[in-house]
Chains A and B, each alone.
Chain A
Amino acid sequence: MNSLFPSIVSRSQSSGLMNFFVPIISIVLTLITGSIIFILLGFDPVYALYTFFISPISSTYGISELFVKATPLALIAIGLSYCFKNNIYNIGAEGQLTMGAIFGGGIGILFHDTNAFWLLPLMIFAGAIGGALWGLIPAILKTKFNTNEILTSLMLVYVALFILDYLVVGPWKDPFGYSFPKSRPFSESGRMPLLFDGLRVHFGLIITLFLIFVSWFIFSKTIFGFQLKVSGYSPKAARYAGFNQTTLVFFAFAICGAFAGIAGLAEVSGPIGLLYRDISPNYGFTAIIVAFLGRLHPIGIIFASLVIALTYLGAEDAQLFLQIPSAVGFIFQGLVLFYLLGAELLINYKLTYKKLL
């Protein structure tokens, strides 16, 4: 006779199969929980789930919007995986994104009446520098002053948002903007080129795919990627092997900051076209979920960014057609992360039914 409840037994090696299945399990469980929530709110769950997850992407325009939303999420998430692989908890990507938008957008405002081929590359470069510098602050505080990077990187988000707010109502305000808190629009050559006529999906997607490919190469083919992974799994082994932890922290934060900065710049020079207060619907925080759901793997992150981007679109549609507050998107994002973290147990442990007799 077997016991009623399974007991948890440690695996000698983490299960590769489960590594693949856990994100899928968590998405399925989230959908089940989601339908229960919809029933509790008094909606037909099939219709609600259809409105949430199918109808937003049932047109070409919808699919283009999915890629518009997935672009910053995937780019930030791949940047975050440099940090998370090394057990560095940078949760301030939203601030790094904002700083990237400020630096790159600042160039765009400075040259608002210039049309030249070098403008956009310069803006992208400035965005990367802005994000990287903002990311380096917690890195310096962590390595020199032993300060917890979770708290400092998060506090810097608020600081960056206030700086942006100051700029768009103060010195960078559009002189012809009827005192709205927004900057001048960038010139045509300061905008991300659109990939297809009439759709908002832009060149940022190509940049993102390129940087994901570069990251895949770094993670799997270079000594730096190996060092990141080893010091994440076992800091002691890394120290013994002589890997310089300080350098790794600096690089991880700088790369993550730069990627988030480029994502921010791609937002303001892509769909938005100028600087204003609310440039990002929490992409920097949501990308944390994307990074975990994608299991810090480049291919995984691409799929995860599409899934999470769909929760943004679904939430908008749910608000329009079902009058459900769009915050329900955050609930789905939180749920998917809960299930994922819970199901991760299956990777390193297995459930067995002990024999009682």
Chain B
Amino acid sequence: MNLDLILGILQIVLIATTPLVFAGIGELVTEKSGVLNLGVEGMMLVGAVSAFIILVITGSYFIAFFVSILSGIIMSGLFAFLVLFLMSNQIATGLALTIFGIGLSSMLGKQYIGTPIDGLSPWFFVIFSFLIVFLVSYFFYKTKAGLILRAVGESHNSAHALGYSVIKIRFLSILFGGSMCALAGSYISICYAPMWQEGMTAGRGWIALALVVFATWKPERVLIGAYIFGGVTILQMNLQALGLRFPGQFFSMAPYVATIIVLVLISSNKLRIKLSAPASLTIPFYKGR
């Protein structure tokens, strides 16, 4: 194996893994505040399609990414309204968000399938994905606001008693998660693919959710997990390209099987999951009267 090949593979792994990092870190912040949003896949798809459409219409990458992030904020805002103010079941609401997102993105993007665009170089986003992980880590463990956010996720009643607005903090965390998911989606449709296709995120949103468990809710570990998954995916593609005598479908299911195996390995230590997971995850906050 020569150096060029290794560098080439490394490049591909970096480019392919970046959306997982964005979506994973966004969901991690949401979950740290005590809210589980299963709508990642839906928000990524809507983010991807809105960035693509705006890019085709305006030709401006900046406006495309801006509108995409705005779409993520709107989608997650809808979710936040339901789970925070109407105290709906977070799991079911997240599923509804994903179904809605799949429908909305397919409908909006119907006439843009196959439209050619000039892809954007991914390297700015690759670097930004590392940066955002360390920023989130710094925020959680070195700032007061980060401590408050974690406190809300661990025990919303205590945080409320101390005078912090549980609803406001959760609202902002959900919006951050939504904008990161939309960014992940727009990266896929503008830098990674670059094209629009129905359901093009191909389950990455769900893998991002698994990453948060893998990371035991610690920001840097999202990076490690994402690169393991990204590596498996690229390895699978390369082995397939080498023409191994093995049906391609078994390679294609590798990332999903790997996710299950990793989840089993991480979760089998019950104590670690119990200590790491935010204690108020999925529990709605009702102030009472």
Q: Which A residues contact B (CB, under 8 angstroms)?
A: 7-10, 89, 91, 141, 144-148, 150-152, 154-156, 158-159, 162-163, 165-166, 170, 285-286, 288-289, 292, 324-325, 327-335, 337-338, 341-342, 344-345, 349
Contact = CB atoms under 8 A, between A and B. Distances in A.
B263 interface: yes
Given A147-B260, A150-B38, A341-B89, 6 more contacts: A145-B267, A147-B267, A285-B99, A286-B99, A331-B100, A334-B102
Size bracket of the B interface: 35 or more
Contacts of B101: 334
Contacts of A331: 100, 103-104, 107
Contacts of A8: 87, 286
Contact of B257 (A147, A159, A170): A159
Nearest to A160: B253
Contacts of A170: 247
A261 to B, nearest CB: 19
A145 B264 contact: yes
A148 B89 CA distance: 17
Contacts of A159: 253, 256-257
A295 B206 CA distance: 26
Contacts of A154: 206
A317 B260 CA distance: 39
B71 interface: no
Contact of A89 (B91, B96, B97, B273): B91
Interface of B: 38, 78, 82, 86-89, 91-93, 95-97, 99-107, 110, 198, 203, 206, 209-210, 213, 247, 249-250, 252-253, 256-257, 259-260, 263-264, 267-268, 270, 273, 286, 288-289
Contacts, number: 138
B82 A155 contact: no
A342 B260 contact: no
Given A89-B91, A285-B99, A152 B86 contact: no
Contacts of B288: 10
A104 B249 CA distance: 21
A329 B263 CA distance: 33
Contacts of B268: 144-147
A330 B198 CA distance: 13
The interface residues of chain A, by DSSP majority, are classed as: helix
B209 A162 contact: no
A328 to B, nearest CB: 6
A147 B263 contact: yes
A166 B100 contact: no
Contacts of A333: 99-100, 103
B267 A292 contact: no
A288 B99 CA distance: 11
Contacts of B96: 289, 334, 337-338, 341
Contacts of A162: 249-250, 252-253
Contact of A341 (B92, B103, B256): B92
A325 B107 contact: yes
B206 to A, nearest CB: 5
Given A9-B289, A152-B263, A327-B107, A337 B99 contact: yes
